[in-house]
Structure 1
Amino acid sequence: MKTGVLCIHGFTGGPYELQPLVEYLEANTDWQIVVPTLPGHGETLELKRVTAETWMMAAEQALRQLQKEVDCVYVIGFSMGGIIAIYLALRYKIEKLVLLSAAAKYIYPTQLLQDVRDIAKEAMTGTLEDNTLYQLYSAKLRNTPIHAAIEFMRLVRMVEQYYGQINIPVCLVQGKKDGIVPFTTAPYLFDHISSETKKLIYSETGKHHICYSDDCNDWFPQTFSFLIEDEEIQGTN
């Protein structure tokens, strides 16, 4: 049986957001892994004319193509990509879902404020340019039109009413220091998704870009175990 994995990045992001996990899976499997760049995203943000439907259709196209080439598909979605992953699970046959920092709720002001304080402190000590958070968000603030942010929020609202219709195995991973998505979002989704098989993993040190957390070597194997559980059972038959 040939396995495929569709990985979907977040709002204003790109495939790099999932790269550490992709590399982990590539090192431990022979799975076919696809990480498309959603319209308007990537190294150069061009978000003025894109819509929620644009992003969903692009993900659908990538999924349909992958399904033609493999026997079963897992979908891994990060942040907004997690919401798109839920949408895909409503419409297509997917074996399992992994939702990383899924943006069912967004902007956790307490942690975001702490991150801003860290930026301010480093600005005073002359190390601001070394702060990866500053580099990331200063570029995004310059290049993200209000229209695109509205489309992102509209996407979340479009999908949220259907959480209860998800019944395939789901693994949720959430960083407790996420400054964008509150860490309470994962248990909220856990409670509202109807799947009988559900797993919830917390990253104690993880911020929003969870695949770059200091403890990813702890939760990568847990997530991998979730994905291969049925394959191992089938292999013993």
Structure 2
Amino acid sequence: MFEFLKSKKQNPRRTVVVALHGFGRRRTDEFLPLKNFLAEKKIELILPELFNPRNPQDVDPQKWIQRAEEVVDELSAQNADVILIGFSMGGVIAAHLAAVKPVKKLILLAPAFNYINVGNAADLITGWFSSPNKKEQPDQYPPLPADFTSVFMNVVDLLKQDAVLVDCPVMILHGTEDETIAVSSSRKIYKKIPAAQKGLILLEGVGHAILDDPVYASMALHTIAAFIDGQIHF
């Protein structure tokens, strides 16, 4: 019996973080700071691509959602503990998945439950990181097809109501100077989420790209890791 208990202790459940990107040209590159930070802490991270900007025919909102669902379903079939992180549009999808799938924790970064500037979501973040080297590679982040804007809106409209069904622990981070998603959006959705453990952290003066903010990015990354590790409780 004791050998059995010892064996179980040596084989804890696998914990995997799945991060869902927003409606931006950089897609999973939005999470590069997070990817590097969690790699140092030996935390497994999966970054699914939700859409293909080089395929103008990729305009089915259900396909965008399905690409995230398939990752969570596969991990659940492996009995892994899934922690979801969603940025902007990815936050709405992540909340939907947390409502209908076995998710251990949910982290929302400037979730796009109510968008105010779709153009910023697609273009501003890419422009933020322009550099001489990147200008030599103009196709690194190709423009999003025009039809993708309506797909983004459809994804949000299809899923935003599911946040009221989320009962796993939730942490929301939102910048008070977000030029794309008003901070009031997160205040409203925070009140509607029924989870017993939930927290809303407002970052003073921060815009939409929280993980790239020159002042608060480090704090945000440490806060995310602490929540993942169970060091933060609400």
- The bucket for the TM-score relative to the shorter chain is 0.7 to 0.9
1:157 aligns with 2:157: yes
Corresponding letter in the other structure for 2:22: G
1:27 aligns with 2:15: no
Residues in 2 aligned to 1:228 and 1:16: alpha-carbon distance in whole angstroms: 24
Corresponding letter in the other structure for 1:20: P
Residues in 2 aligned to 1:201 and 1:61: alpha-carbon distance in whole angstroms: 30
Give the deviation of 1:194 after TM superposition: 0.8
**Identical-residue share of aligned pairs (%):** 25
Per-residue deviation, residues 199-221 of structure 1 (Å, max 9, x unmatched): 11122242211110121112222
Per-residue deviation, residues 91-110 of structure 1 (Å, max 9, x unmatched): 2100000011110011269x
Q: Which residue of 1 aligns with 2:166?
A: 166
Q: Give the TM-score, by structure 1 length.
A: 0.77
Residues in 2 aligned to 1:11 and 1:171: alpha-carbon distance in whole angstroms: 21
Q: Which residue of 1 aligns with 2:31?
A: 18
Moved more, 74-83 or 162-171: 162-171
1:187 aligns with 2:187: yes
Residues in 1 aligned to 2:58 and 2:37: alpha-carbon distance in whole angstroms: 35
In structure 2, relative to structure 1, the CA distance for the partners of 1:26 and 1:163 (3 Å cut) is same
In structure 2, relative to structure 1, the CA distance for the partners of 1:231 and 1:217 (3 Å cut) is closer
* Structure 2: gaps of 5 or more residues: 1-11
In structure 2, relative to structure 1, the CA distance for the partners of 1:70 and 1:33 (3 Å cut) is farther
1:81 aligns with 2:90: yes
Tell whether the 8 Å contact from 2:84 to 2:107 is kept in structure 1 after alignment.
yes
Q: Which residue of 2 aligns with 1:105?
A: 114
* Structure 1: gaps of 5 or more residues: 120-128, 233-237
1:56 pairs, out of 44, 53, 65, with 65
Per-residue deviation, residues 32-87 of structure 1 (Å, max 9, x unmatched): 2100112314xxx4344322101111111122223344531101011111111011
Q: Give the TM-score, by structure 2 length.
A: 0.78
Residues in 2 aligned to 1:130 and 1:24: alpha-carbon distance in whole angstroms: 23
In structure 2, relative to structure 1, the CA distance for the partners of 1:70 and 1:27 (3 Å cut) is farther
In structure 2, relative to structure 1, the CA distance for the partners of 1:46 and 1:208 (3 Å cut) is farther
Moved more, 154-163 or 62-71: 62-71
